[in-house]
Structure 1
Amino acid sequence: MSNSKAKVWVDGDACPVPIRNSIIEHCREFNLSAFFVISYAHYTAPSPGVEWILVDANREEVDLYLMNHSMKGDIAVTQDFGLASILVPKGVITFHPRGFLYREEDMEKMLFERYISGKERRAGNRTKGPAKFQDSDLERFSGQFKKMLSNIEGFQ
């Protein structure tokens, strides 16, 4: 079941460089288009063969672009639970840079935990941030991402 029209969309503002490199490598391997959507505030030198889409630096601009341009069957990579909660029901296969696939049945819990953490921060309390990005995160992401691309392209 080949889906050669699938596009890979990346929330580039918060994408760790090792993950960015892994996405580029695997998209080249499977001949898929990768689109890194970033705000002008996060501009970095583009990589050959990858399309960089620059949006305004306004809050949520990258998210709005991804919501409006991704389609069912596309692939997205984002750390943003809110964005993932919109893309997943739309039929976009959505990955977190730490290598897990967002699932619709997990969204309510993830969004609630994000809400509680935000409420704590607004009250002046400290909340635990994400753990430092590890080599094991890159390995997990790279393996899961490649496996998923293989399944989409029919190379199981």
Structure 2
Amino acid sequence: MVIWVDADACPGVIREVLCRAAQRTGVPVTFVANRPVNVPAAPSIRTLQVSKGFDVADNEIVRRTAEHDLVVTADIPLAAEVLAKGAAALNWRGEVYSPETIAAQLTMRDFMDTLRGSGVHTGGPDALSQADRQAFARQLDHWLAHHSA
């Protein structure tokens, strides 16, 4: 069991929560990015730097993810791919992606992408709030409690 992190866009505060969890539990956490990622030196914390390019990090995460792993990402297509492999997926706002809802999330993502492509200003996501950080930490702790032992 490994926690894979789509680290290119992962907020620093979420990276810190993940590193503390890895140090506390010993569950391996691997940060995958196309640039260096600053993480503490610890046996359970790793980084994997991939080459630059569209979806290179995502493709590497999908390739390496196994059943029962956890992928931390805000990328809905990546979440869909790892769910299909039997892994779990969680975004940094503490929202758990599920096989039951991922198709609707993909449809909404594609719709919003079409709107933006046609010139409609849709705005970006809200800033990560303290409540989001707490929700993420709660969901991570819940996953760890049910998958590490």
TM range (shorter): over 0.9
Matches within 5 A, 1:60-75: 60-75=55-70
User: Aligned partner of 1:63: which letter?
Assistant: D
Number of the residue aligned with 1:44: 37
Is 1:107–2:102 an aligned residue pair? yes
Shift in Å, 1:147 = 1.6
Could you say what the CA RMSD is over the residues aligned between the two structures, in angstroms?
Answer: 1.1
TM-score (norm 2): 0.94
TM (norm. structure 1) is 0.90
Residue 68 of structure 1 and its aligned partner are, at CA, apart by 0.3
2:4 pairs with 1:12: no
1:125, distance to aligned residue in structure 2 (A): 1.1
CA distance in 2, matches of 1:46, 1:38: 12
Q: Deviations over 1:39-78 (max 9, x none)?
A: 03xx233321221100011010010000000100111100
Is 1:96 matched with 2:86?
no
User: SS where residue 74 of structure 2 aligns?
Assistant: coil
Unmatched 5+ residue regions in structure 2?
none
Distance, in Å, in 1 between the alignment partners of 2:39 and 2:24 is: 18
Q: Deviations over 1:72-130 (max 9, x none)?
A: 01111000000001101211111111001100111111111111111111111111321
Partner of 1:134: 129
Q: Aligned residue pairs: how many?
A: 147
Q: Which structure 1 residue ranges, 4+ long, deviate > 4 Å from structure 2? A: none
